[in-house]
Structure 1
């Protein structure tokens, strides 16, 4: 185990009337001799340091804000040039309503002790007349006064802490359609929304010991996690591909935080998983954890996937484990989440009941488990230059699967030829995986498919022009001053 202290938690009791939290404005900076009457000029953080051997490279963006009452503007003596894409041979030209997007990730607001979501605008239901959708244009990069996110430091960082989501915010979530939300926690300063069961396993997850042979697929939910997990497993088990038709993906790849998400629902564990647990730990209570114990007992090489961001994992993870992060454009992530949740059976698993427009507002407000979306993406993007971290886009897998698999083979130091890669491509195609799921359900008890269409642009099936315009504005706002580019069509 590493020497860092385990995650600590604090319970934040909800006030009777929750005071709004200003998420994007900053107090004016005070100097010893004078107060400058201008909006605060923030500089992007220092480079994220992942290890002493190979620091992450980032670039600073200086954002100049407008002057208030003719006071002098405080800016650095030399502005950094716009950041350049350094993620590979290809460029990600963002497309939002045919307006070129310039970036991905976002400048994150500084967290506060209490959690407050933005007011949810009234959704537009089917059948209502809608005004023509405006053609959104990305705001100029110089105009954002938001603070850039703090650097992600994997070694020597302080363990993350959490706070309980208060009653007022829970009420807003329920009113937005998330009917089954009862007890939730949120990581600080910018961690994800999780069931309170996470608290029981936070220390174990944070101190989980990785090995040099481990491979982890990491992604925000509904970003292609299962697809990439199958690709990576097949690439690294090229001589055992027949097992893909004998064992489900969840029996070959550990969902590392499953104990924390389904800690009280042991009935949804696969029979093979529980069989293994009973054989290895006949006297242990499954409520104390199944997957973490099985993973610790598994021989190398081990395969994992997770929806938790890097900050909630062992700080030593990237010194040993190979991590592949999958990013997908936020429109399709939102629609895929909605489509998945509305098809869950019965009251036990149904998290959302409402219209698509309501769900979109909840997605933007951070009401979805593992939210906020932008913080998740941004933290991973800061780590993209680490030798053990590989950042890929779902949309690139769709358009150039062979090229992306060559890059994965190189990252994993596998040295596979094109004939082998072509075989993996066939076994992990959308139609092949969907057919295999009929025989080997990913989670049998959920009685719903993890695969819908596997296309880019599925958002357009459900979004009205007004809902789309609001989403475009939200995306543009959060892409200011960053350098990741999405493809939407």
Structure 2
């Protein structure tokens, strides 16, 4: 059953968040005040200046959300309460992760299982059928004011609230993606919905995230890998800190509505992982479906699939194709080509200090 189609606008009055929901059929607008339990802090001027210098897409600067220090572009202020109070349904299925942990791979797996292996439906771009709920604050509108980019976008420039409206208009059951940590999502999330959380070896994450930041003009990273590694370890990248993100999920691992996977699971035993996800979602997989789905989800197939590799975004100029595509290489262990001995020593010390045992709980094995 399709949900009400709405136009979502976010307004702030006297420091209080409000969302206006307008039914496009009736024209009726309702205003709901939103509570958000955290203070959002602007970065110190010196830090913000350096961030904006190295990340050309962060035109409005960045903020942190204490007490854990989650790091976002400043436009997050306008949407934080909307995410925290997002209306949920028992049929919603979330795929959650820190970025570059195998999210796209997991999304495609979950979508195919949820939709009875609908190969025709899977030709629709993944970000349209499985949207990220926080895309409104990831895409700073100022970036799209560039005349050349705006011309390429041909009227497709997103407006604030477009992605929340897309989430609201999806037919049910809704597949939803998020890189937000559990503490910044609706408190009732796990008691209401099923969530598949995926994690990955942080060495491979940081390499993939480095190329991601160079590829997306909305990040526009212009520095080298060594500098980026410092940003990662200092929790100065979007959706960081990495270890707090992982820890929040791990602390909830016994909840029946949470399934935790790793990139290693997907890479080394895809069939078993498919069955695990299907069982979690109350679905079954025939032998024929298993064969087809493993072929569909093979990393080479994913890279060649325009629906999963976001090729249209490259054509529109939002992605720099020189960085290898949205799905770049896949696999594990590629970090060895980027880390010298000093980097490895420093990073592994950071893993022990910040991970505090979590690094031993997951099968990174890369």
TM-score by length of 2: 0.80
CA shift at 1:409, angstroms?
0.8
Give the structure with the larger strand fraction: 2
1:485 aligns with 2:354: no
Give 2:28's aligned residue: none
Residues 171 and 214 (structure 1), Cα distance of their counterparts in 2 relative to 1, 3 Å cut: same
Q: Distance in 1 between matches of 2:52 and 2:36?
A: 33
Alignment map for 1:342-381 (pairs within 5 Å): 342-344=214-216, 348-381=217-250
Q: Distance in 2 between matches of 1:440 and 1:471?
A: 31
Deviation sequence 1:279-316 (CA, Å, 0-9, x none): xxxxxx96340111122122201111111111111111
Give 2:104's aligned residue: 226
Deviation sequence 1:408-432 (CA, Å, 0-9, x none): 1111111223432232121121111
Give 1:305's aligned residue: 177
Contact 1:211–1:321 (CA under 8 A) maintained in structure 2: yes
1:443 aligns with 2:295: no
Contact 1:194–1:369 (CA under 8 A) maintained in structure 2: yes
Give 1:166's aligned residue: 44
Alignment map for 1:64-463 (pairs within 5 Å): 159-173=37-51, 177-178=54-55, 181=58, 182-245=60-123, 247-264=124-141, 287-344=159-216, 348-437=217-306, 441=311, 443-444=313-314, 445-448=318-321, 449-463=325-339
Deviation sequence 1:424-477 (CA, Å, 0-9, x none): 121121111111128862633314311111011010111111111111111122
Contact 2:36–2:80 (CA under 8 A) maintained in structure 1: no
Number of equivalenced pairs: 321
CA shift at 1:8, angstroms?
12
Q: Which runs of 5+ in 2 are unaligned?
A: 1-11, 16-34
SS of 2:65's equivalent in the other structure is strand
Contact 1:263–1:287 (CA under 8 A) maintained in structure 2: no
Aligned CA-pair RMSD: 2.9
Contact 2:43–2:63 (CA under 8 A) maintained in structure 1: yes
Q: Distance in 1 between matches of 2:288 and 2:69?
A: 42
Q: Which runs of 5+ in 1 are unaligned?
A: 1-6, 11-156, 276-284
SS of 2:197's equivalent in the other structure is strand
SS of 1:230's equivalent in the other structure is helix
CA shift at 1:400, angstroms?
0.6
Residues 251 and 241 (structure 1), Cα distance of their counterparts in 2 relative to 1, 3 Å cut: same
TM-score by length of 1: 0.60
Q: Distance in 2 between matches of 1:307 and 1:431?
A: 24
